[in-house]
Every structure is written in structure tokens, then in C-alpha cells.
């Protein structure tokens, strides 16, 4: 693969976890990266510092993707700084796992606001602001196939993202490809929070590799999906889960 990724790439939710690992890897391959975050100022600064200290080109912009006016400002600031947006990666997401009967209205609303409305808002801006022949890559999750207890609403949000992505891929035109990437269990703070050691071991045993993914495993798949080598791929979901499903 060509190591020169000469693109301006906007990554929502990229201050930590998979988003941060992705920002660092894409910057190392020559991309100009916009680190978007909603509240994690410290982590965003650390991600930005790592990239710039290693010779990369990046900026950090705070914006809540669930709010269309902040998404507009996010794109406007990116274009003011870099002149364009070639790639949109929607990594921002929240997860609130509860047994179905214990789910409250706020649990439902908050997850759909970020995980679905956030993707809706950014893809609407992409209709106007993304470069011709650009790329949209939305994060789904392998939980849509795993049917894990307590994941009903989170999994539903990701299924909605997948279907919305398929439809947009047929509508947006201008040579823009639209795909999803669906990680499996990945060793991030978001995923590990509240899970017992026994449950983690059970998940590891479901993969023939007998481990959880590292954020860098997912970032490497993202690198391919936003490169020119993947340009004939559109309207697809890439499951990156170590063979779990």
C-alpha cells in the first residue's frame, strides 16, 4: 500500500480509544488529521501532541456531533484551516449497557443522539462540504451480529448507522464511497468499563486468536478503507472482529 495518504481526514470522537489510534496512524501515513472531541480536552491535547511530535499535521476541534450547529462549525473550521475535507470518519459514540427492562428513556435518547443523529448530522454536511471522490467511513459494531445481553439499544444504534450508510452510498454521488467498519470487542476504556474478568475471558475465547482487538488493529483496517486502494468498495460493512462472528 502507498504510504503517502495525501488527504484531509476529519475523525469524530478521536481523542481516545480507537479514534485516537486511527488519528495517529493516518497522520503517520501523511494525512492531515482533524481530531474531533466533545468533552475529552486532555486526551485530545495528548493525541494532538503525539501526532505533531512525530512530524504529523493535525488540529483538534471541539464539537458535539449531536448538535447540527456544532457540526457546521466543525466543518467550517476544518475547511478554513486545510481548505477542504476529503475523508469523514464517524467514530464518535457512547455506550450504556443495561438489561432491557432497566433501560431508561435517557439511556435510549442519549445513545441515539450521538450514535445515530451524530452520523446523520455529519453526513448531511458531507453532501455539501466533502470533496468529490471523497470517502465516508462510519463506525458500526460487531455487536449487531453478536446479540449480547444488555446491548439492545447500542446495537440498535449501530444497525441504524449501517442502513443509513447503505442508502446514502446510493444517493450522494460525486464519486464518494460510503462504508461502515464494525469492530468486535476491543481493549478500550469504553469497552472494558463495567465488565468482569470472566466476561472478558469469555469474549477472548470466542476468537480463534484468543484475544481482544487492540485499537491499532482497527486503525489498520481503517487505513485501507480510506486509501485509494479501497475506492471500488462502497455500501459495505467490514467486520473487524478476529473471527468472533
- Which residues carry out catalysis? 154
Ordered DSSP codes for 137-171:
EEE--THHHH--TT-HHHHHHHHHHHHHHHHHHHH
Measured CA distances, 65 to 28, 145, 210, 243 (Å)? 26, 26, 35, 31
CB-CB neighbours of 46 under 10 Å: 14
C-alpha to C-alpha distance for 71 and 182, rounded to whole angstroms: 23
CA dihedral 159, 160, 162, 166 (to 10 degrees): 140
Amino acid at each position: 500500500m502507498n504510504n503517502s495518504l495525501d488527504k484531509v481526514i476529519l475523525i469524530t470522537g478521536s481523542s481516545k480509544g480507537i479514534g485516537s489510534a486511527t488519528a495517529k496512524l493516518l497522520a503517520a501515513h501523511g494525512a492531515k488529521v482533524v481530531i474531533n472531541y466533545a468533552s475529552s480536552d486532555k486526551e485530545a491535547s495528548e493525541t494532538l501532541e503525539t501526532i505533531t511530535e512525530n512530524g504529523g499535521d493535525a488540529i483538534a476541534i471541539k464539537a458535539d456531533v449531536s448538535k447540527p450547529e456544532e457540526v457546521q462549525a466543525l466543518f467550517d473550521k476544518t475547511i478554513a484551516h486545510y481548505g477542504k475535507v476529503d475523508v469523514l470518519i464517524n467514530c464518535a459514540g457512547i455506550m450504556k449497557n443495561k438489561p432491557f427492562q432497566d433501560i431508561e428513556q435517557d439511556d435510549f435518547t442519549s445513545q441515539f443522539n450521538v450514535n445515530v443523529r451524530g452520523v446523520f448530522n455529519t453526513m448531511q454536511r458531507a453532501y455539501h462540504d466533502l470533496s468529490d471522490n471523497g470517502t465516508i467511513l462510519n463506525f458500526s459494531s460487531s455487536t449487531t451480529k453478536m446479540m449480547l445481553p444488555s446491548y439492545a439499544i447500542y446495537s440498535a444504534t449501530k444497525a441504524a448507522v449501517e442502513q443509513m450508510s447503505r442508502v446514502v452510498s446510493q444517493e450522494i454521488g460525486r464519486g464518494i464511497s460510503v462504508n461502515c467498519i464494525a469492530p468486535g470487542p476491543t481493549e478500550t476504556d469504553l469497552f472494558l468499563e463495567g465488565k468482569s474478568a470472566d466476561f472478558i475471558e469469555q469474549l477472548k475465547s470466542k476468537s480463534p486468536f484468543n484475544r481482544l482487538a487492540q485499537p491499532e488493529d482497527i486503525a489498520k483496517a481503517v487505513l485501507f478503507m480510506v486509501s485509494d486502494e479501497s475506492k471500488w468498495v462502497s455500501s459495505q460493512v467490514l467486520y473487524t472482529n478476529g473471527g468472533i462472528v
